[in-house]
Structures are given as structure tokens and as C-alpha cells.
Chain A
Amino acid sequence: MARKLICSLIAFSLAVPVFWFPPPARACGPFFTRAIFTLHLHPDFPLSDFAGGQLGVLQPSYARSYLVIAYRYASGKNLSKSEQQSILGLWQRRISSWGTAEAEKPGPAERWVLSRRRYMNHRDPEYIDTFRKSFGGDLHVWEYFYYENCLKDSFATAADTLRRRAAAFGPQSPELEQWIHAQDVVFSACNRGPKDSEAAEPKPLAAPSSPLLRADREYQIASFHFYAGDFQKAEREFNDISNEPDSPWKTTATLLAVRARIRKATLKDNAAERKEDLVIANNKLQAILANPKLRSAHASAGRLQSFVEFRIDHDRYYSSLVERLGKQNRLENFGEAVGDYTVFLDEFLGETDESDQEGRAKAIEEGFSRQRIRREQSDLTDWVLTFQAKKPAATRHAIQRWQETRSLPWLVAALSKSTGDERAVPAMLEAARLVGSTSPVFATVAFHRNRLLATSGRALEARTALDALLVKPDASLPQSSINMLRALRMTLAHNLEEWLSYAPRVPAYIGTDETDDETPSVWDTDEYLGPSDRAKRAELSTKRLELDADSTLVLTEKMPNSLLREAAEKAVLPEWLRKSVAQALWVRTFLLDDGEKEREIVPLMQQLFPERDLDLEAVANSRTIEERRFAAALAILKSPGWKPYVETGSGRETFDYTRIDSYRDNWWCSWMGSKDRDWFENDYYGMRSILSPPLGSIYPNKSVSYPAFLSNEARDTAALELSKIQKTDSAVQALGDPVLQWVRLHPDDPRIPEALHYVNRADRYGCAERTKTNYSKIAFELLHKKYPDSEWTRKTPYWF
């Protein structure tokens, strides 16, 4: 008795934590592969196409640096090749996965050490810490920060010089060794204060040494003082070098003398003193830029000038930027200028935190109103802020500006914002008609013109124009733009066949929903992906046609089953999409308990799912309602990927309907249940059937409507069927009940153990929705009590 009690207590205490365990929280992950049909944060890859003027259908949600380029092309101020390269550099830096640059290995200093190792018998210098602590602060303020003292170019220059000196003096020569030792001392100053470094200062070389080495040493000494923070001495020494006609460092030293002044300024607390130094530096930079003999230093001097001007007079620099960016003047450092300009815009709008999407959207709307004066001062700023804002005032302003200027950028803004109700629409449509196909904004203008034609009762005209564009799309048209045009054309379809021909689209990008889907990440590379994600991406990258949410929402919620059947039968869809539609039709017919229809579609299902041939045959041959229900349920139970809806995008982890998805995207959740869920949980339909932001221009109400070709009767049928399906239970209950009923009626049916096994699995791996009945336990107990010798019983060792 006592033993029993102890055992019970132990069992109880073991069981308590199990039942008491709080629900798991997903603070991070899982992350799913996503097919993106139209990118909305940036243009399609490669970005060089966009930089070259292939703008496609512009999205207002693009990062502003892209909109600056769009404005330039729309204004007829095309980018030069060097400007294109420069802006690509900016995008590359900005779009890189966060942390990648910081994690770069080997880093610049390490690369220098590797170069050095070749000549020093693998003896490495002391660890080079490129960061140096600020020496600010006093009795009244505690201050703390580091700055990057030795930048990557310094290590690259050192490595390059080392290679040249090794070639000139010999890799094992004492001259080279002396040079390397002096350079080690230079880099040792990277993280030391002036007092720490005094003892180790490199000494000038005596006269018998090679003039080249003497010049090198002078440069090394000046560099040492620069890194050690003795900027006055460094500036003087660099100036001296710049005056030596034979020094190979003459030009570099001219620039570094200015850099010493700038570094000195930026580390000063006193604003007036800081500005004074920066003004001096700016004058010197202007002199360098005006000197054709220093041409090789002009690019660096230009970058430094931007840096300095930004700090001397914020507003003036902004004004100079907008003036320069608005003109076609083949800017040196164009990418940096665009980068600085967008930093200004971010500041004007008050955006700082990228993770706060709602806050950013709000900032854009508020910024449009708040920055009226800045908009008045610059057409570029006006255009960018207006193009991004969604409020009616922005639409009115865009139309007004177009009416005032009749310019292409403002036509683009006015068209893209128009709802079709504005009085200016006919004039805008006429102006749009005149935009030639060679214009960089042709795709944007064509898309919005046809969108407005459709909403203005000129659908036929829009259809014809879109067909002309889509029959043989321009090879330069980005996939995102093709998909936008197809999405628009789909809404104008005459009949089902036409609708189906525009529904499938090739994804423009395969992303991961870890952040925003659209930012390439090292995590998207094969090295980091699991096998199923790798396989899926490989398949999707073959330009496989898939369905975006606008199509699947219509198929799932706006079409009757009779049309789904037609869709599944039509060869206009590729086979995998026919299967997607057919499986939804099968499950829906099952849920609606329409036996006659179920039998009718058996041949179609057998054709598309030959692996389910016998199970489907059993449905066709069933003699009673209960047997039909059981057989149909069994077919679904054996296909975890079947569900009453059509899958969006990349869908489940696997394309194989018979395989279990690792994240319980198996069988389905009830529609009713989803209302009670705060989060999507396992409601994959709810999670994936969301219209993307670009589709918002076609569906401003954020919901799809019935296809125009659908009769009222068909619409009523679709609505009725959907409402019935939405009231049905989750898969485990919908499938478990017919199976259990059949067990009661025909316990000797040899298919029963298999069906019970799958009921058990469906409860475990299907939707996590709780049901009143524990189907898993019932199935388990039935198997073990009534069918103990079945192989399916052996395969069912647990209930859940």
C-alpha cells in the first residue's frame, strides 16, 4: 500500500511539471522561406539594372536612395557610368546583412599581418588594436567612447608598399626588415595615447640610406604621430613631405595633413575650436580639388570635403547636396552624396529605429506636412517625400505639381497616387499615353495608367494595353514589375481561363521572413540553410510559377467549387498548381459532405495524385455514406499537405503533400479557431494569405473581390460554400469523427488500423488547435486494444 502511495506520489510529482509547463514562447524563429513576387523595399536584383535606368514599376516604399535615382532618370538626368558604380557601392553597403562587415575575417589589420608574415619568418607583430579610447572627460563629466584610429586603407597601403619594397630591396634584406619594424611601431600607436607612444617613436634614417627608404621613414614618422594623437606634429610633418618634390608620398601627405587637422577637430569638445579647424581643413581641401596635379587625391578629398561641410554648416551642406543631386553634373562621390542626402531626409522625418515599421510609416505621413518648407526649397525633396506619403493631401499636391510643371517625375507621382476619382485623371491619362516605351518610367506610367483606366470604366482599353505589354514582356522589365502587370491584368480577366493564365507568377526573390524577407543575408546561403530549405530554394530558383496571395485568396474565398474543378482541369495551370487547386477542392468537397461531387472528381484526383489512386478508388466504390466519408478521410489523412485552401507562394517546408512539415503545417486549422488566436500560431493560411504592400495599389481596401466574370449565382454559391467551410472543425476532428464512426460500424475493415494510426499522427503533427476530444488517445487505445498485431499498431507507440 505504502509503495503504491509512493509510486503515485512520484508519478504525480513527475506529471505536475509536465502539465504545469507554460506555453512555449517564440521570441525568435522559426523562419520560413518565402517567395516574394514584388519587392517593395528595394528594386529587383541585380541593382545595377536599376542604377542603369531600368526602373520598372516604382514602389513608394523603396528606400529613399532608390527614389533619388528614379527622380534623376525621370527628370532626364541620367547617371554616368561612374555615378552608377558609386551608387551601387552605397546600396551594397546598406543592403549587406547587419554584422557581416563587423564579422569580416580576416579583417584589414589581419590582412596586413598575413602580408607581413611572408617576409618575417612568420614572426608576427604585437596584436594591433585599431580602436582607441577617447581621452576626453574631466572632473565634471565622465566620458567614454572609442574611435577607429587606424582605418582599413592604412593597412592596405602598408601591405602594398611592403610588396614593392620587398621587390626593390629583396625579401630578406636588412632594409626591408628595418622598414617593417618601423611600420610595426606606426601601427602600435593605433590604440595608445601620446604619452604611451613617446618611447617607441620611429627615428629618422641617416643619410647613407636609400632616398626611397628615407622618404618612407619620414612618412612613417608622420603617420606614427597621427595615430598617436599628436596631430599638430603630424600635420607639420605631412606638410613637409608634401613639399618634397621627390617623395613618393608627396600627394598622399598633402591629403593626410588635412586629415590630421580634421581628426584634431573632431576630437575637440569645444564647438567653436572644432569649427575653426574644420574651416581651415575645408579651405585646404578646396585647394587640393582645384589643383590638377593632385588629381589622384581628388576622390578622397571630395569625400573628406563632404565630411567637413556636413559638420561646418549642416543646412548649407544639405542645400548644396540637393542642388548637386538635382543636376546632371557627373558628381565624384555620387553614392556618398546620395547617402548623405538620405541621412538628412531620415533626420527630417525623425526616423531612427528600423524595427519600428509603424513608426516609420507614421513619420513619413507626418513628415510630408511638417517639411513643407524644405519641400518648397527642393523639387527633389518634394518629390521623394510626396511620392512616399499616402495621405490625400500628398495626392492633391502631386497632381498640383504635375499640373504646374507637366514634368515626368510629377506625372509618375500623380498617377501612382491617384484613386481615379480626381478631376485631373483624364488629362493625366492622356499625358501618360504619350510616354514612350523607352522612357525609364514607362513601366510605372503604364502600370498606373492601366490601373486608372480600369477604375475609370475603360477596362477594355486597359486589357488591350496590358496584353500588348505582357505577350512578350520587355526583357529589361524586372520580374517584380511583370508580376505587378500580371496581377493587374488578372483583375480584368474575361473568363476563368484568362484569369488562370495571369494568376501564376515567377517569384522575384526568395527570402526568409527572419527580418523583412527582402534583405539578402548570409543566412539565406546554402551554408546555413537546412536540407529542406535548400531543396525548396533550388526548386523555386528554376523560375517555377507560383501563386501570390491575390490569386490564392480569390481561389479560396471567391470562387465556387465548380470553378475550382475547372481550374484544376485546365492545362493553363502548371501541374503543381493544378494539384494545389485540386487538393483544396477535394478537402472542401469532403468538408461540405457532397458525395456526388466527391465521386465526380475522383478521376481528376487520381490523375493528379496517382499515389492516392487506391484510396480515391475506394471513395468511388463506396456503398454507404459512412464508407465514403471514411475512405475520403483516409485519403486526406495520408496526405498531410492537403487542406481546404490553395497555398500561397512557397508554401510548406516541402512540396511533397505526403510528407510531414516540421513546423506542423500539416492538415489544417479551423477558420473559426483562428478568430480566437492572438497570433497565427499554426494558422498558415492566415499567415500567408496577406496581400503584399505593392498589391495595395490594386487592392486599396486590402481585400480581393469576386472576379468580374463570375455571375451573381456563382458568387452566391462561393459565399455559401465558404461560410459552411469556415464553420467546420480543424482537420483532426473533421477526419477523426468519420474514422471513429467507421470503426464502430465495421471494426473488421482492414483499413482501420492504418486510419487510426494517421488519426493519431494528425493529432500530433497537425494544427495545434485544441479539440474537446483527444483523438490521438482514442486512436491509440483502439489500436492497442483491438488491433494489437497490426503493423500500424507497432508504428503507434504513443498517444499525445
Chain B
Amino acid sequence: MIRGTKLGGAALILAMVCLGSWYLVAHSPLSARLKRHLPRAARRLFVAKPSHPPRIANLPNLYLWAWERPEDLQFLGNSKVGVAFLAKTIFLATSRANSNATNLDAVNLRPRMQPLRVAPGTPLMAVVRIESLRGALPGAYSIANSSPASFSSDEIAHIAKEITATAQIQGVSALQIDFDATLSEHAFYRDLLTEVRKQLPPNFPLSITALASWCIGDRWLNQLPPGTIDEAVPMLFRMGPGTREISSYLAAGNSFTVPACSSSLGLSTDEPFSRDILSGKISVSDAPLSSLRVYVFSPRSWEKASADQSLKDLPSWHEN
């Protein structure tokens, strides 16, 4: 009896020591460096499943991006796969250097022009793409003049209103903004996101796409007021000249260092790097793919057969 009690006590102590060690190992800065040298599979032991912020916790784990082309996604039926569709493009237009036009004159809108059809009840996310021609915002792309953008708060509120209007499209349950903001546009984008959040209903999910560099190098997203965005989706395709650097960085076992980027991924069906991630050949996150929200882009209109082929290894594709 006494022996049993002793053993039980020892086991309890051992368990506590193990748990304490695990906690220390998992959370100490030193361990983070050490972890980088472990295989990703081993590192997952130290990593908790990424917790999605409450506003987006109930959204599907898989979204198909429906871009500006005719899309008939009725084949998704009643599955739990969502559709993130381009609803509107906002052009921050030509330079105002030589004109006395107001800033709002520099904004053009283009709604979705290609038909999108889905089964009623499909989880929908409205995507607003922002295009800015270089020079549209003061200082954009210019080293000499890197002053922040100077849209007034009223003008930013106007642009935000155009964005948040898409949240009112029938059936839309989340909003995503897609803007490859340059360094000098970050201040404008930060103000815009803050304003969008202000205009949205408090519990309405707000997602943004993120250049991969925002998630590992240029960590401006960390400066956003807490709770502004619910996720930043690292775009791991069409990365241009940075493709090799980013893919090497991730394939070498490094992870996104910006917390907002840790719970989702943006992939494409037509790039090898994306395909390897989708098929599980490559892991780019310490968290398992099944716990991330995955957004998938197709360069052509989605069809059931091609979607099946591209997404067959994703557990969330088979959820009903």
C-alpha cells in the first residue's frame, strides 16, 4: 500500500516535472532557437494548435478563392468548404501631383463583373482587392519622398465604407481585404484597416491577405491595434523574384514570425511549392495543416474534377 502510494507520488511528481519541463522548453526563448534545429514534426510536440480568434473560429478551414472569372461552385453543395469571392476592386488611381482634385477623385470602384454561382448556404467571404498605381499615394515607391500617405480621415472613412458595404451582401459571413501595400503605403493601410474594423459589426470577421515578407521580415502588421484583423493570410504563390527565398526560408524549417500569419495559408493549385504543401510533402508551419485555414487560388475557373485532384490530400476538403 505504502509502496503503491510512493509509486503514485513519484509518478505524480514525474508528471509534474515533465509538464513543467515541457512548459519551460516550449516557452523559453532559448528553446525557440533550439527548436529551429529540430525536424518540424518533432517541433509540433511543443506547439499548441493555433487558436483562431473568436470572430473567425467558426469559419470553414478551407476556402476556395473565386477570382474575376465565371465561377460555378455549386458542386461544393452543402460541404463545409467556403468561397472567398472577389466582390469588388478599388483602384487608388492616378497621381494627384499635378491636379487639385480631391483624394476621393483618385478612387475608382469596379464591382465583380463575372458571374459567381454557389449553392445557397455556402459559407461566403467577400474579398475586396485594392490596386494602387505607383504614385497614387504620396511617397509610394519613392526613396526620396517616403512621407506617409495623406488621405484624410474622411477620405479613409469613404474607402472603408466601400469595403464594408460588401459585408452586407446577402449570405456573406466574413470580409477579406487583398492589398499588396508597399512600404510607404503601410501607414495608409493601417489607418484604413482600423477604420474598416470600426465600421464593421463588432463580431464580423476581418481577414487580410499578406505578402509573405510581412509575415517574416517586415513586421508592420504587429503595429495594428489589437483586434483589428482576425487573420493575415500569407500568400505563398505568385511571389515573384522572392519565391526561392521565401520557399527556401520556410522549407528550411523557419516559420512565420508574425502571430497574425500563423493560422492560415494562401496557396495556388498551379505552383509546385503550393502543391507540395497541399499534398503534405512540405510543411511550412509548426502547426499541422489540418489546423490551419487554407485559402486556395486556381488560375482557371474551378471545376469539381480539378478541385478534387488538387485538394484530395486536404482533410478539410472531405468534410461534410
Contacts and interface: CB of A to CB of B under 8 A. Distances in A.
B273 to A, nearest CB: 12
Given A99-B131, A142-B120, A528 B95 contact: yes
A529 to B, nearest CB: 9
Nearest to A146: B111
A353 B239 CA distance: 15
Contact of A141 (B29, B117, B141): B117
Interface stretch (B191-199, B243-251, B277-285, B303-311): B243-251
A139 B238 contact: no
Nearest to B301: A352
Interface residues of A, number: 48
Interface in B139-155: 141-144
A16 B216 CA distance: 16
Given A23-B249, A353-B270, A528 B134 contact: yes
Contact of A142 (B117, B182, B213, B245): B117
B108 A107 contact: yes
A144 B257 CA distance: 37
A141 B74 contact: yes
B146 to A, nearest CB: 11
A45 interface: no
Given A22-B249, A102-B89, A528-B134, A27 B117 contact: no
B204 to A, nearest CB: 18
Nearest to A523: B134
Nearest to B66: A144
Given A105-B108, A530-B142, A530-B144, A144 B131 contact: no
Nearest to A687: B241
Interface string A327-364: 00000000000000000000000001101100100000
B93 A103 contact: yes
B1 interface: no
Contacts of B48: none
B87 A144 contact: yes
Given A105-B106, A107-B108, A25 B242 contact: yes
Given A144-B87, A530-B143, A16 B29 contact: yes
Contact of B212 (A27, A142, A352, A678): A27
A669 to B, nearest CB: 16
Contacts of B238: 355
Contact of B113 (A20, A145, A355): A145
Interface in B103-148: 105-106, 108-120, 122, 124, 131, 133-136, 141-144
A139 B133 contact: no
Most buried by A among B33, B87, B91: B91
Contacts of B302: none
A530 B33 CA distance: 41
Interface in A12-52: 16, 20-29
Contacts of B136: 103
Contacts of B216: 22, 25
B270 A356 contact: yes
A131 B111 CA distance: 7
Interface string A278-314: 0000000000000000000000000000000000000
A713 interface: no
A25 B29 CA distance: 23
Nearest to B32: A20
A147 B113 contact: yes
Contacts of A99: 91, 131, 133
A126 interface: no
B180 A678 contact: no
A148 interface: yes
Given A25-B217, A107-B108, A141 B91 contact: no
A531 interface: yes
B35 to A, nearest CB: 13
B171 interface: yes
A141 B248 contact: no
Interface in A141-184: 141-148
B300 A27 contact: no
A407 interface: no
B9 interface: no
B39 interface: no
B112 A145 contact: yes
Contacts of B246: 25, 27
B7 to A, nearest CB: 42
Interface string A220-264: 000000000000000000000000000000000000000000000
B198 to A, nearest CB: 23
A142 B122 contact: yes
A29 B213 CA distance: 12
A134 B241 CA distance: 39
Interface string B84-101: 010101010111010001
A542 interface: no
Contact of B249 (A25, A100, A522): A25
B158 to A, nearest CB: 12
Nearest to A26: B242
B136 to A, nearest CB: 8
Most buried by B among A144, A146, A356: A144
Interface in B221-258: 235, 238-242, 244-246, 248-249, 254, 257
A352 B306 CA distance: 15
Contacts of A22: 216-217, 249, 254, 257
B135 A24 contact: no
Contacts of B33: 20
A190 to B, nearest CB: 12
A44 to B, nearest CB: 25
A213 B8 CA distance: 101
B132 to A, nearest CB: 9
A527 interface: yes
Contact of B171 (A29, A102, A142): A142
A102 to B, nearest CB: 5
Contacts of A29: 141, 182
B169 interface: yes
Nearest to A131: B111
B299 interface: yes
A25 B239 CA distance: 10
Nearest to B118: A142
Contacts of A528: 95, 134-135, 141
A25 B93 contact: no
B218 interface: yes
Contacts of A141: 74, 117-120
A527 B120 CA distance: 49
B211 interface: yes
B241 A148 contact: no
Most buried by B among A22, A143, A353: A22
Nearest to B96: A105
B67 to A, nearest CB: 10
A662 interface: yes
B169 A144 contact: yes
A536 to B, nearest CB: 15
B118 A662 contact: no
A527 B74 contact: no
A102 B106 CA distance: 11
B180 A28 contact: yes
A106 B29 CA distance: 55
16 contacts: A23-B249, A24-B213, A24-B218, A25-B211, A103-B94, A103-B108, A103-B131, A103-B133, A105-B93, A139-B120, A142-B171, A144-B85, A144-B169, A522-B133, A678-B245, A679-B241
Given A22-B217, A24-B213, A105-B94, 8 more contacts: A21-B217, A27-B213, A27-B235, A27-B240, A139-B120, A142-B120, A527-B135, A528-B135
- 10 shortest A-B CB distances, which residue pairs? A25-B213, A146-B111, A103-B93, A353-B299, A678-B244, A27-B211, A145-B115, A24-B217, A26-B242, A27-B213
Interface of B: 29, 33, 69, 74, 85, 87, 89, 91, 93-95, 97, 101, 105-106, 108-120, 122, 124, 131, 133-136, 141-144, 169-171, 180, 182, 211-213, 216-218, 235, 238-242, 244-246, 248-249, 254, 257, 270, 299-300
